Amino acid sequence: MKLKYKILILLIVAISIIALIRLANSNFKKQKISQVTISIDTQGGPELVTEEEVLLLVSQGYDSLTSRTVSEIDLAWVENIAKTNPYVQSVDAFINIDASLTVSIVQRKPILRVFNSHNQTFYIDTEGALMPLNKEGCPRLLVASGAIDEKYYPSAKYSYFDSINYNQAQLLSVLNKLYLISMEIERDTLLSELISQLYVTDKNNFELIPVIGNQNILLGDVDEHRKKLKNLSHFYKKGYSVTNFSKYKTFDIRFTNQVVCTKKEEI
């Protein structure tokens, strides 16, 4: 008998707990949204989307978010509508225990501004995707120009490769190559400050233009591009204090494991 009573008591307690949880959940869903918080992670890049713009998007379909109950908020819809902003990479929307709504945004980070031969200009981000220009602009962004015939397509996205050989490089588009070069420059603290422009001579030849000095840096194609750019970074770090760079017109890093310098002609 004692065992039966214990089982019965445990069963009653379990049922009571479940009932209380359901009641609490029901009451929680009836609460009005206490406040809306928009958080934006720019990933260290320029601000391209504002809290006001996100709030305006997620408020569509609601007279006022704070006049709605928890049960009336469709979190999946909130996330999807926020993603329609072209500068939003990902969204996480959730309701907190105090009935406040948080919309957490990760913003896309542009690393390159492209000027193509069709008078179009746009960004490439860290994910290899194309982005439209932002009205606020992106100061201090790496710029690419020259023989770039590919047009802007919002759905375009390019692949990242750690290493590329000569034959593989021939298969890549110019924009994909620019993405690879830009990513390596972005990751190097010295080169990201030093290199201001990329110039496309043709689909297999790229030049880098530094902020200081008037040298052209010949990269060639993107085969072994990581090694080439690491060599360049090492060259600047070790050579700047001992070499008068103003005497040189060209730094050639087309061949791995060396930097070939061409002096200016004596007048």
pLDDT along the chain (267 residues), means of 10: 64 65 57 85 89 87 71 85 93 86 93 95 95 79 95 93 89 96 94 93 94 85 92 82 72 81 67
| Whole-number pLDDT of residue 31 | 78
Domain locations along the chain: 36-107, 110-263
40 in Cβ contact with 54 (< 8 Å): yes
| Whole-number pLDDT of residue 196 | 93
Q: In what order do the strands lie in the sheet with 36-41?
A: 36-41, 101-107, 88-95
| Whole-number pLDDT of residue 24 | 47
Instruction: Look at domain 36-107 and name its CATH class.
Output: alpha beta
CA distances from 163 to 129, 171, 222, 223, 226 (A): 20, 14, 9, 7, 7
CATH for 110-263? 3.40.50
Q: In what order do the strands lie in the sheet with 110-115?
A: 130-131, 121-125, 110-115, 142-146, 195-202, 205-210, 216-220, 248-252, 260-263
Are the folds of 36-107 and 110-263 the same?
A: no
First-to-last alpha carbon distance for the chain, in angstroms, is 112
